[in-house]
């Protein structure tokens, strides 16, 4: 048997083994005994990141640029360390919304936009094509090295040259294998458990093969690491392989490559597939966050030794990308060489399998299906069960993707090394990062901005990386590289706008991300989101809040029969039965046997019944798993009469489960802010109902106090919305009112919560020995300027050098500031004055705050310490005074509660000197043994 035939049989035998493992994994999943419900298997599946680039190209990179090759693996390490924050949020969102791909994820975030999903799919298809070409090149190159067959560069594409090209047959075999391997199920959101099991096995094979050739190099070809590095150090021409500064672009090049690897790890379609879609338990991320970096460390331990050995033994004129194979071949170890070839085949096929499945899902769900669903004449001709037809689309997409990869390899693949081709694809998929990451943490990011930003970034990438590759291959004139477009020097692709000195990848990444992020943020700041987009933004941003799940977004009506027919057409009878059975189990407590006993008549009647919002939501999720979010929503809209819930209703559902409040939103988000405020107040009321006193009165008072700011905000917001031609001065005046009323509303809520904690005994104080004199001066400094800006003269008389008491510094300062603020509100309209006096009275420390206002009647002096009680003269005489804001009626009750807990007293008297009212606080002296030393006093204060 010839060597070439033996290699081919070994390759086909290995592919057959993968198929057997995948079938075994699927069969175990059907039996409920999943083989991938393990953090170790999950980690090994993530190792699909290590492709032929790792197996062959890292050695070539190390031979040219030394340890800088590790940057490609430090980026994913940083990404995995951030996994509990970023990746876990992505996993939770994907599970809740049946996300099938990164295109579906970005589309769903921005209002389930089919256009945005199509754009992401197109960019991924174009950007990943070079990466697939890399794998084809690696397989072809390794086969040629193994059988000692020269590779002739492709001069032109013709039928004879294509049929004689081994890369074409590799692409053809892989396309058939992947069709059988990864498209046995329609629902792309259902996990490909067999595929994941096979990929995990491949990760073990490539790791073992790479370590085997590394150990062979160290201990057979050389006498250990010391011998290898000593001989390399004696060769000056090998300096690059040992130098940390060999990376192009210096420190900026290091940083650029690190960022590129970090972003690409999160946005590569295959990584999204294994990290997010195939995740069975988000807790596996915690283990994988250190197991995967460990895998990367182990597989890269032998890169430098293999690169140095290749340079020492094979010479500088050989191809460093093939050192992994040529070293055992040069020693006559054909068996080891064949095992290494299988390891490289594992690395390449694993990437191609997962990447092609992910891309075919995107092409089907984001490109083909939306077009078919909108092409009315064509969609009407498509009758019956379309599930098999949809699988055909995916299989056709697989063939197309492998064909594109082959064409890129045939046209320009020989012009670049393996690493160079990989970095081109990394820079392309990094254009998804701004829309993805900003969409996870910024509600204001809009779909139009995301789409235009990706277009700008992708165009910059194509100009600075993709087109230069065609120029270097002779498909475009070299003058394009040397002189720039239209012979404009500042338009040179590798020195855009005159920026020189960077490596081509950092250069492209810098300009493309500037364009991408700049457009996304700029457009988002001046664009209003649709209601659905606002809803999805809230769901994505709040995904990690406890209990968050996809809300029921439908208030329209349809029948169960209509949903049944729709699901059958696109999912098939079996999948439809599962969806309806799941819904019945939730909506109808009867057992399956009881439902069957009801007979066909009852089932027919059920089909004519209205579908619940829960069933409509589940139907949309099921369709999203097969067709993508945008197409699923379009299909549901075709059978549901009505529309999705409006924003106010959706946000009410969200806020009930998220248990979070956000205050101080921008004007266009005021309606959401008000809904959340109402939810929080209702929650506060529920807690206060447990108290025996004033529960009914409390609810009435809260409603009364909220009505004024809520009404004011809504009224002015509606005026602003309906008056686009309003003068700028008047608009600014109205906006100022909205802001002030919002601040007042926020203060009211905080005071209500403080009061609830105080009355329920949950207000925690941190008593310590402190100097009340120093604390009073600190409080005066905080309020002096704002009080005097309101026209009130504030005077302080402090008769003590020190006054040591036991108290919570923050809460006592809050009390003092509140007393001063209350006195300022009640001071006289003409020449208002407030005097603070701190001294000793009958063995206690007394702080009094007097005003020159009308005073407080004797019958009102205790009522001012009741919740929400406000003196009538404040509203009549002072409530409208300029710069004298009306209070909530909670400050004094909270202050008295704090003072009481500290063993003191707070009451009201007539002002002895000014004629108005005097608020008096008394506290006992600190016990002598707890009084701070002079050194401690400074530290405490």
Q: What is the pLDDT of residues 430-448, one digit of tens each?
A: 999 999 999 999 999 999 9
Q: Are strands 905-910 and 844-851 parallel, antiparallel or unpaired?
A: unpaired
In three-state secondary structure terms, 840 is strand
- Please say if the pLDDT value at position 321 is more than 70: yes
318, 310 contact by CB (below 8 A): yes
pLDDT grade for 659, boundaries at 50, 70 and 90: very low
575, 622 contact by CB (below 8 A): yes
Q: Which residues pair with 910 in a beta bridge?
A: 917
CA distance 591 to 574: 19
- Please say if the pLDDT value at position 644 is more than 60: no
Give CA separation, 635 vs 621, 629, 703, 758, in Å: 11, 10, 43, 53
3-state SS of 123-182 is HHHHHHHHHHHHHHHHHHHHHHHHCCCCCCCCCCCCHHHHHCCHHHHHHHHHHHHHHHHH
Chain-centroid distance, C-alpha 375: 34
819, 895 contact by CB (below 8 A): yes
Q: Are strands 917-923 and 844-851 parallel, antiparallel or unpaired?
A: antiparallel
Q: What is the pLDDT of residues 389-446, one digit of tens each?
A: 777 888 888 889 988 888 887 776 555 555 677 788 899 999 999 999 999 999 999 9
CA distance 798 to 793: 17
CA distance 349 to 171: 10
Closest CA to 702 of 752, 750, 737: 752
Would you state the torsion angle of the CA atoms of residues 53, 58, 64, 69, taken in this order, to the nearest 10 degrees? Answer: 110
22, 194 contact by CB (below 8 A): yes
Q: Are strands 833-841 and 804-807 parallel, antiparallel or unpaired?
A: unpaired
% of the chain at pLDDT higher than 90? 22
pLDDT grade for 702, boundaries at 50, 70 and 90: low
Across 479-493, average pLDDT: 81
In three-state secondary structure terms, 321 is helix
Give residue 670's pLDDT: 62
Q: Which residues pair with 850 in a beta bridge?
A: 835, 918
Q: Which residues pair with 804 in a beta bridge?
A: 771
CA distance 350 to 358: 12
Q: Mean pLDDT for the chain?
A: 78
3-state SS of 230-279 is HHHHCCHHHHHHHCCCCCCCHHHHHHHHHHHHHHHHHHCHHHHHHHHHCC
Q: Is the pTM of this model over 0.85?
A: no
Quote the radius of gyration of the chain (alpha carbons, Å): 36
CA distance 629 to 617: 12
Burial class (CB in 10 A: 0-12, 13-18, 19+), 381: exposed
Across 740-751, average pLDDT: 68
């Amino acid at each position: 048997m010839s060597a070439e035939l033996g290699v081919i049989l070994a390759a086909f035998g290995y592919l057959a083994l993968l198929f057997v493992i995948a079938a075994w994994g699927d069969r175990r999943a059907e039996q409920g005994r999943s083989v991938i419900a393990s953090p170790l298997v999950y980690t090994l599946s993530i190792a699909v990141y290590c492709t032929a680039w790792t197996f062959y190209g890292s050695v070539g990179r190390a031979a040219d640029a030394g340890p800088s090759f590790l940057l490609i693996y430090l980026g994913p390490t940083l990404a995995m360390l951030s996994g509990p924050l970023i990746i876990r949020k992505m996993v939770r969102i994907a599970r809740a919304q049946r996300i099938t791909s990164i295109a579906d994820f970005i589309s769903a975030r921005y209002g389930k936009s089919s256009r945005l999903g199509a754009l992401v799919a197109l960019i991924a298809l174009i950007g990943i094509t070079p990466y697939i070409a890399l794998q084809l090149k690696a397989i072809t190159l390794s086969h040629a090295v193994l059988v000692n067959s020269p590779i002739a560069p492709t001069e032109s594409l013709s039928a004879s040259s294509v049929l004689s090209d081994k890369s074409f047959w590799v692409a053809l075999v892989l396309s058939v294998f992947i069709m059988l391997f990864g498209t046995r199920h329609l629902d792309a959101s259902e996990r490909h458990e067999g595929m994941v099991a096979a990929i995990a096995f491949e990760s073990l094979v490539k790791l073992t093969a790479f370590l085997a050739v590394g150990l062979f190099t160290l201990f057979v070809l050389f006498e250990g690491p010391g011998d290898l590095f000593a001989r390399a150090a004696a060769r000056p021409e090998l300096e690059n392989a040992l130098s940390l500064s060999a990376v192009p672009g210096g420190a900026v090049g290091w940083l650029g490559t690190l960022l590129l690897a970090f972003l690409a790890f999160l946005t590569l379609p295959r990584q999204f597939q294994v990290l997010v879609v195939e995740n069975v338990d988000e807790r596996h991320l915690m283990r994988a966050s250190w197991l995967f970096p460990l895998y990367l460390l182990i597989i890269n331990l032998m890169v430098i030794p293999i690169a140095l050995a290749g340079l020492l033994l094979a010479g500088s004129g050989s191809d460093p990308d093939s050192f992994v194979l040529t070293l055992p071949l040069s020693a006559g170890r054909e068996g080891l060489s064949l095992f290494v070839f299988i390891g490289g085949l594992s690395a390449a096929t694993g990437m191609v399998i997962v990447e092609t499945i992910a891309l075919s899902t995107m092409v089907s769900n984001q490109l083909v299906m939306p077009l078919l669903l909108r092409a009315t004449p064509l969609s009407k001709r498509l009758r019956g069960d379309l599930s098999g037809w949809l699988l055909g689309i995916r299989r056709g997409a697989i063939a197309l993707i492998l064909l594109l990869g082959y064409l890129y390899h045939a046209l320009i693949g020989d012009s670049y090394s393996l690493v160079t081709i990989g970095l081109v694809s990394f820079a392309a998929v990094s254009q998804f990062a701004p829309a993805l990451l900003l969409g996870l943490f910024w509600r204001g990011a809009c779909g139009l901005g995301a789409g235009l930003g990706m277009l700008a970034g992708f165009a910059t990438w194509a100009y600075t990386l993709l087109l230069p590759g065609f120029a270097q291959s002779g498909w475009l004139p070299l003058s394009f590289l040397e002189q720039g477009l239209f012979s404009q020097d500042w338009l040179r692709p590798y020195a855009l706008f005159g920026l020189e000195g960077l490596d081509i990848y950092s250069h492209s990444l810098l300009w493309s991300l500037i364009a991408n992020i700049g457009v996304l943020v700029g457009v988002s700041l001046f664009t209003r989101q649709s209601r659905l987009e606002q809803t999805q933004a809230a769901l994505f941003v709040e995904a990690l809040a406890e209990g968050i799940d996809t809300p029921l977004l439908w208030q329209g009506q349809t029948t169960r029969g209509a949903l049944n027919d729709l699901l059958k057409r696109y999912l098939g009878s079996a999948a439809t039965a599962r969806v309806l059975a799941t819904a019945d189990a939730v909506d109808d407590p009867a057992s399956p046997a009881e439902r069957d006993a009801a007979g066909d008549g009852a089932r027919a009647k059920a089909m004519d019944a209205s579908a619940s919002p829960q069933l409509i939501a589940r139907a949309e999720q099921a369709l999203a798993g097969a067709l993508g979010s945008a197409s699923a929503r379009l299909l549901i809209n075709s059978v549901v009469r009505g529309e999705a819930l409006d924003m106010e209703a959706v946000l009410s559902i969200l806020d009930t489960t998220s248990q979070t409040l956000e205050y101080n939103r921008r004007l266009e988000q005021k309606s959401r802010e008000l809904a959340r405020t109402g939810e929080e107040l209702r929650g506060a009321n529920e807690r206060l109902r447990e108290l025996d006193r004033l529960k009914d009165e409390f609810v009435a008072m809260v409603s009364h106090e909220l009505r004024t700011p809520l009404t004011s905000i809504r009224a002015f917001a509606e005026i602003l919305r309906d008056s686009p031609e309003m003068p700028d001065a008047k608009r600014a005046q109205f906006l100022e009112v909205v802001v002030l009323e919002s601040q007042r509303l926020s203060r009211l809520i905080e005071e209500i919560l403080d009061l609830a904690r105080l009355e329920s005994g949950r207000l925690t104080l941190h008593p310590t020995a402190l100097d009340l004199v120093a604390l009073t001066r600190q409080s005066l400094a905080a309020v002096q300027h704002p009080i005097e800006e309101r026209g009130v003269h504030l005077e302080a008389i402090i008769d003590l050098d020190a006054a040591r008491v036991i108290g919570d510094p923050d809460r006592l300062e809050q009390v003092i500031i509140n007393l001063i603020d209350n006195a300022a509100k009640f001071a006289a309209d003409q020449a208002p004055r407030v005097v603070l006096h701190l001294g000793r009275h009958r063995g206690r420390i007394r702080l009094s705050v007097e005003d020159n206002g009308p005073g407080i009647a004797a019958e009102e002096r205790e009522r001012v310490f009741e919740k929400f009680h406000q003196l009538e003269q404040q509203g009549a005489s002072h409530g409208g005074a300029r710069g004298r804001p009306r209070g909530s009626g909670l400050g004094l009750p909270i202050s008295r509660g704090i003072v009481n807990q500290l063993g003191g007293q707070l009451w009201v008297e007539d002002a002895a000197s000014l004629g108005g009212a005097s608020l008096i606080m008394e506290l006992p002296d600190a016990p002598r043994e707890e009084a701070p030393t002079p050194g401690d006093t400074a530290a405490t204060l």
